[in-house]
Amino acid sequence: MTAAPDRYRPVRRMLARDQGESHRVSTPLELFFDLCFVVAIAQAGRELAHALAAGHLSVALTGYLMSFFAIWWAWMNFTWFASAYDVDDVPYRLTTLVQITGVLVLAAGIPRLFEDQNLTLSVAGYLLMRLAMVTQWLRAARSESGPGRTAALRYAAGITLVQAFWVVVVFVPHGLVAPLFPVGVIAELAVPVWAELHNPTPWHRHHIAERYGLFTIIVLGETVAAATVAIQTALDEHRAVSELLPIAAGGLLICFGAWWIYFAEDAHPYLRSVRQALPWGYGHYLIFASAAAVGAGLEVAVEHAVGAAHISDLAANAAVTVPTALFLFTVWALHSRHHKHGVAQLILPLAALSVLAATPAGAAGVPVAGLLVALAVAIGITLSAKNPKRS
């Protein structure tokens, strides 16, 4: 009788993967992990849309930035760890499923976070994800030696310490939550910088670029889904076809253009060191958050068009144009500026400014924004075709 394939062993040593491994692609477990995060993203987007439609800008921004940070940071930490230490054994899979459970608990707590900054349920889910991550790093530390062991122990210690801080935040007076939250964010962001200092983990740049690309697709897909549901609901209740079709067209152009722009260039050639990868990875908070916020903005625009949102035309358009412009500018900062030259270097920054300029355009704001994004794509394609080596 032949032995079972190595990857099916019940327990394996948590050894680092080869950074030069060929055909390193996302695993089914990673894809399942991403898909489950859609629940939390959808919840955050829904609450953002409701708060914006009600004219509660401060509540909307505070709740969204806080909840999306928890979603993104838990996803990011798993992604980079899995790029270096995915052994796909039974303990690894079970621990990952615990993390998925944590994001579902976090998602359940997002409405309370928006309503009155009640962090209890969201922090409970976040702790479940993060402490499960600690056990993964401790497994890696037991199997590693030298710099790899040092990095793993630093990650485990740093993550544990910051989670103790979040527990304290849950019990402080309500008025202190907002001032203390940025302190926790800075502490979370500092852990990888400290852990990777002189002890870089063996993440795989092709794998990381693919993982971020797949999550971008998921977020854009959620944006399309949210806008579709909003339009269908409005049609069922108001039958305002003439008002909704331009918004639908503009929203689709924005989503399609966002996909095209993000994947116009490969990211992995730029990810050659931790110094380059950390700002790139951290910067994707703005890409993911803005892409998801476009969907919420389209919901707001739809509600405003049928009279269900009692806000100004300017506010309704800004719910779409501001995150769209932020997406364009951040993609330029993280991707395009490293590959473009000459006039092509200016396309996305100018497109971002043009989209913002469309905000006061009344009922035409969203469709005009969509056309501007499509125009940016068309100009980029034309320049690339004329001068592929210098675009």
What is the chain's pLDDT, residue by residue, as a tens digit (391 residues)?
Answer: 334 445 555 667 777 787 777 878 899 999 999 999 999 999 999 999 999 999 999 999 999 999 999 999 999 999 999 999 988 889 999 999 999 999 999 999 999 999 888 889 999 999 999 999 999 999 999 988 788 899 999 999 999 999 999 999 999 988 888 899 999 999 999 999 999 888 888 888 889 999 999 999 999 998 888 778 777 777 776 666 777 888 988 999 999 999 999 998 887 777 777 778 888 899 999 999 999 999 999 999 998 988 888 899 999 999 999 999 999 999 999 987 777 767 778 899 999 999 999 999 998 999 999 999 999 999 988 887 777 654 4
Can you give the pLDDT at residue 288? 96
What is the CB neighbour count within 10 angstroms for residue 105? 18
Q: Is 269 helix (H, G, I), strand (E, B) or coil?
A: helix
200 vs 189: CA distance, rounded Å? 16
Positive or negative: CA dihedral 121, 126, 132, 134: negative
Domains parsed from the chain with CATH numbers? 26-196 (no CATH), 205-386 (1.20.1410)
Looking up tokens 């506010």 gives: 315
Angle at 48 between CA 42 and CA 49, to 5 degrees: 90
- 10 Å Cβ neighbour count for 333? 17
Q: Is the whole-model pTM more than 0.85?
A: yes
Q: With the CA atoms of 308, 314, 317 and 320 taken in that order, what torsion angle do they form, in degrees rounded to the nearest 10?
A: -110
